[in-house]
Structure 1
Amino acid sequence: MPQALWSAKRERQYQHIKDSLLERGKDEGTAEEIAARTVNKERAQHGESKTANPRTLRATPAPVRGGRNSHRGPQGRTRDQLYEDAKRQGIKGRSRMNKQQLEEAVGR
């Protein structure tokens, strides 16, 4: 609860993000900082703050982005995600493919 100006919704959002980060093994200070920054960014994008970084205002909000930037690390996309892409592309034999074969077939 770092900000007195936050609405009840933003307080719940902060607590939810913080709890999630703690469950994933982040330390208390890091979890609080990430949660506060995330809530403040959401507030700025929704016009709830007096000042905001122009880059923040141009960024696509997380609910709209819908995970578009996720799964780009060393593991990449999940097999299920690749399977759904293959399904959309109409790739034959997709149900018998493993993750590597799906990656090659989908072309990612």
Structure 2
Amino acid sequence: MPAGSSRKRERQYEHIKEGAEERGTSEGRAKEIAARTVNKERARSGEAKSAGKVSVRDPKSASQRGGERSHSGPQGPTRDQLYEEARRKNVEGRSSMNKQQLRKAVGR
């Protein structure tokens, strides 16, 4: 957390980090997700010294959006995301599948 952060933001950071780790995200990635989310919220609420255009103009906060942008876009989820879903569903032969095959195997 940046120096001078409020206790609320510190709690928010820990909550987001723990949630990401519970979903199977690595510790480093969970820290990155939490820091980015908290920093964006700080920028939106005027707590940060500077803020990027996207942070301020985005109509929904990260917590309101709730992963809405995840797994979307022109190509959908990544191969790694599909692989993890296939692993959770115990799909046989998933390690040798390409993105298209994984998409079909998990029903997307």
TM-score normalized by structure 1? Answer: 0.58
Q: Is the contact between residue 37 and residue 62 of structure 2 (CA under 8 Å) also seen in structure 1?
A: no
The number of residues matched between the two structures is 73
Quick check: 1:57 aligned with 2:56?
yes
Matches within 5 A, 1:3-82: 3-60=2-59, 61-63=61-63, 65=64, 67=66, 69=68
Question: Rg: which structure is higher?
Answer: 1
Distance 1:72 1:62, change over 3 A: same
- Unpaired runs of 5+ in structure 2? 77-108
TM-score normalised by L of structure 2 = 0.58
Runs of 4+ in 1 over 2 A off after TM superposition: 65-74
Unaligned 5+ runs, structure 1 = 75-108
RMSD: 2.4
Shift of 1:6: 0.9
Percentage of pairs with the same residue: 50
